[in-house]
Structure formats: C-alpha cells, structure tokens
Structure 1
Amino acid sequence: MKKETPICDSCLNENCFIKKHLHLEKMRTYIEKKNSFICKKSQQFIIEGAPTQGLYFVYRGKVKTVKTGIYGREQIVRLTTNGDVVGFRGFATSKRCLIGASALEDTVLCNFSNEDMLDILKNVPEFTFDLMLFYAEELNKSENNIRKIAQMNVRERVIDTLLYIHRKFGQSKGVIEVDLSRRDIADFAGTTEEQVIRVISSLKKELLLKTVGKKIGLLNVEKMRSEIIEHK
C-alpha cells in the first residue's frame, strides 16, 4: 500500500472524529503518530480474523465492510466514504478483527494504532463521549436493520438497499457514484444476485431507475421511499 500523508488541519471532512477534535490540545500528539496510506481499488486492508490494527478513518474514497456468514458467503454490513470510521466493530474488546474491509475505489486511509486509540480514549474525554454516542447510534441502526430484514420482502429489501447507497454516495450525471456489482447489492440486501437482477429489471420497467452499464441511477426516489415507508 502506497504512503500518503493527509494533513488533518486542511482536511475537509468535518464529520471525521479526528477533525472534530483538532481544537483540543491533547489531540495534537496523536495526530503526529498517525499512519496514512493509499489502498488501491479492491484491495483488502482489514482481514477478518487477523489481529486488530486500531481504527481507520476514510480521508478520501469508498470502502465496504463485510462479515463472513455460513458457507463462507460474505455479507456487506456497512458502506463508508469520506470522514467515516472503519474497524470499530470489536475494537478494544477483541484482539482479532470481527470484520473485513476493502476499497471500492482508490482510497486514502488514516490509521491510528490500538495503543494510540486507547490512549486517546483514556485521555481525551470529549472524544470518548462522542465515540460512545456513535456506538449507540450504530447499535440502533443494526437493530433497525435486523427488524427490516425480517419484515421486508425481497423487492422492499432491494429498494431499501438502493436508497441507502444513493443516500450514502449520491448521484453524478444521473447515476450513483460507486461501483457495486449486483452480487454486492445482493450481499447487502440479504438476498441472491438473481433476485436483485429481477427486481432491478422490474424497477426499470416502472421507470423508477435506469442502468448505464453496471451503474444504477434512481429516477424517482420519493416513489421508491413510499414503498418502504411503513418499515421506517
């Protein structure tokens, strides 16, 4: 992985935990210790079951986080982009990574080691408090996702996934700005690739979305939202 050194003071990611706490004098020491690098598209930087290597913060790019299920099938559990944190599942509670993560495009990552992160949690209470709120919010999202998967039919799960991806990455020139295969969408929605293809085909006929090659563009977000509103 190629090295790159993003400057925290000039970082534009106002939602980044590190950026939010730069005004604290105690954070300056830890900023100098961070490790930054470029992760090429499709390259894995967190291996499920490997020793934990602290927390990663996305400076620029897109990342998918996966968990291996039965029969070795990967389930996408989270998609992240600029300013998001990666690798928090199991951090400080497990010596092994509970998830895997890889870049969806060339991505610049900032990494803080286990030791430095634990020092921050012990010595920077403002950061610790905000991270606690973040964990609480993520737990709430996970519980909601479990409920939705149990109650939604296949079409609703695919629509919910497409809306999430659209919300997360936005659209440019009429298509969502991320390269995700139909298999990726299926893994996130908890269904099969064949079912995703059928639902996408149906939504195209209804003029709710379009496809440009492998990319997808949503044409009527509000109508798609209305289909799953009862599950929100």
Structure 2
Amino acid sequence: MNASIDCKSCHNEQCLIKKNCLTEEAIPYLEQKLMVKAKKNQPFILEGAPVHGLYFIYKGKVKVAKTGINGKEQIVRLCQDGEIIGHRGFGVGQFYHISAVAIEDIMLCNFSNEVINNMLQKVPQLSYNMMLFYAEELNRSENKVRKIAQMTVREKVIDAILYMNRKFGQTNNLLNIQLSRKEIADFAGTTDEQVIRVISSLKKEGILIAQGKRLGIVKLDKLKNEIKEHNFFLDS
C-alpha cells in the first residue's frame, strides 16, 4: 500500500527516522516510504530472501528469528513500535540473515535499499545515529552470548521473562505480550519442556501467575534477585 502516515505526525518519538529525518533534505526520501500491513503470525521477512530495504514498526509487536542447528528456530529479538527490522542484512549482503513474523496485527514503514542509502549519504545525523544503533546492537549480542553460556536453564527462562517485562510492561498484572511456551523457549535458548517446568515452579512459588498463554509477574524483586549476578539490566 502507498505511504499514508506522515513521519512528522508519527507517535514513535524514538524512531531513528522520526528523530533524524524531519529536515528539508530528507523530505523527498520520506515521500518514497511505503506502508506495509501484516496479520498476526504472518512473516514479512524470510530468512535467505533478497534484501528489500529496512522496516520500521509503526504499530505492533514482532519476533525476529534465525535458523539454528537442525533447523531449530532461535528468536533473537522481540520488537515493538519505532524499532528497526532487517538491519542485520542491510549493506552487508544480498539476502536477509533473519526472519521476521508479526506477533499481532502490525503496520510497518518500509524504505527501499536505494532510498535508505541515499538518506544515509544526504542526512549526516541519520548516519551518525545509525552507527550508534549498530554499536549498541553489537554490545547486546555479545552480552546475550555471554549470558547464555553462563546461565542455568531456570536463569535463562527468568531472564527472558524479565526482558519481556522491561520491554513491554504489564497491564492488570499480565505482561503486554503473549508468547507460546515454545516461543519463550526459542528466545531463552532452551526447550519447551524446560520452560513449562520452570514456569510451573515459579507459579508454585507465588512469583508468577498465568492466564492462558499470558504470564504475569507477582514478585518482581524476587525474580530479579535470582539473576542479579548476571546483570540482567544490561540487555534492555
């Protein structure tokens, strides 16, 4: 569908485009933006597919995944309004190295490879902040590798739940994101069975509650305390 949302009126104040491209030299490129809709569970980036620019989430939640050993999916990011999708393949190759699937009905802003390349050359502030974004992403990836190597299964699951809480928050004592036990396992780097056992244990301890697939944190401080030595707050 054609562009229909003006970047100037966008509600995503932390979006790199909104923050850096509301200048006169950027306007011609903003006018070439496309709006893309995706339904819940619909993929809009396929791993191995040709790169067709960068996506910025206008509204909704997305899981970004990569295929691991024996075809097992590893969820590498959970994203929401204002975040970039597809940057890992941009500028370094012809194909995406990740897949992206809508967790709920979403709307995306898409800038083609040509448009983004031109913007980066013409808008220095965007280029600088994009560089900082990539540096922060690298830091988070390195922290995650370290934590996965050092954490027990229980700690991995707790870390994943705390991450969801920091990123999406809670409403009425339930997390504002609904993931299946398999998706939590794919994000935590463990198995469905282990996730089910850990969640069951945390519920019995009165730390978590569950309503269908949705989880809620009752005793946040206790959950944080279990992984405090791993500096959970580094991966926001």
Deviation at 1:183, TM superposition (A): 0.2
Aligned to 2:128: 129
Judge conservation of contact 1:6–1:59 (CA < 8 Å) in 2: no
Aligned to 1:54: 53
Deviation at 1:3, TM superposition (A): 6.2
The letter of the residue matching 2:56 is F
Aligned to 2:12: 13
The letter of the residue matching 2:80 is T
Q: TM-score, normalised by structure 1?
A: 0.97
Residue 102 of structure 2 is aligned to residue 95 of structure 1 = no
Output the CA distance in 2 between the equivalents of 1:200 and 1:135: 33
Aligned to 1:119: 118
Judge conservation of contact 2:3–2:31 (CA < 8 Å) in 1: no
Output the CA distance in 2 between the equivalents of 1:39 and 1:174: 28
Judge conservation of contact 2:62–2:104 (CA < 8 Å) in 1: yes
Judge conservation of contact 2:61–2:106 (CA < 8 Å) in 1: yes
Output the CA distance in 2 between the equivalents of 1:137 and 1:22: 20
* Shift >6 Å, 4+ stretches: none
Q: TM-score, normalised by structure 2?
A: 0.95
Deviation digits for residues 86-141 of structure 1 (CA, Å, limit 9, x no counterpart): 11002111100000001000000000000111111111111000000000001000
Judge conservation of contact 1:3–1:38 (CA < 8 Å) in 2: no
Output the CA distance in 1 between the equivalents of 2:105 and 2:10: 18
Deviation at 1:206, TM superposition (A): 1.0
Deviation at 1:181, TM superposition (A): 0.3
Map of 1:28-177 to 2, 5 A cutoff? 28-177=27-176
Larger deviation, residues 147-156 vs 19-28? 19-28
Deviation at 1:191, TM superposition (A): 0.3
Output the CA distance in 1 between the equivalents of 2:186 and 2:226: 21
Instruction: Name the Cα RMSD after superposition.
Output: 1.1
Aligned residues: 231
The letter of the residue matching 1:20 is K
Output the CA distance in 2 between the equivalents of 1:217 and 1:153: 22
Aligned to 2:210: 211
Gaps of 5+ in 1: none
Cα 1:152–1:193 change in 2 (3 A) is same
Judge conservation of contact 1:4–1:38 (CA < 8 Å) in 2: no
Deviation at 1:174, TM superposition (A): 1.4
Deviation digits for residues 184-225 of structure 1 (CA, Å, limit 9, x no counterpart): 000000000000000000100111110001110011112111
Deviation at 1:23, TM superposition (A): 3.2
Percentage of identical aligned residues? 55
Gaps of 5+ in 2: 232-236
Judge conservation of contact 2:89–2:96 (CA < 8 Å) in 1: yes
Judge conservation of contact 1:53–1:114 (CA < 8 Å) in 2: yes
- The SS at the match of 2:203 is helix
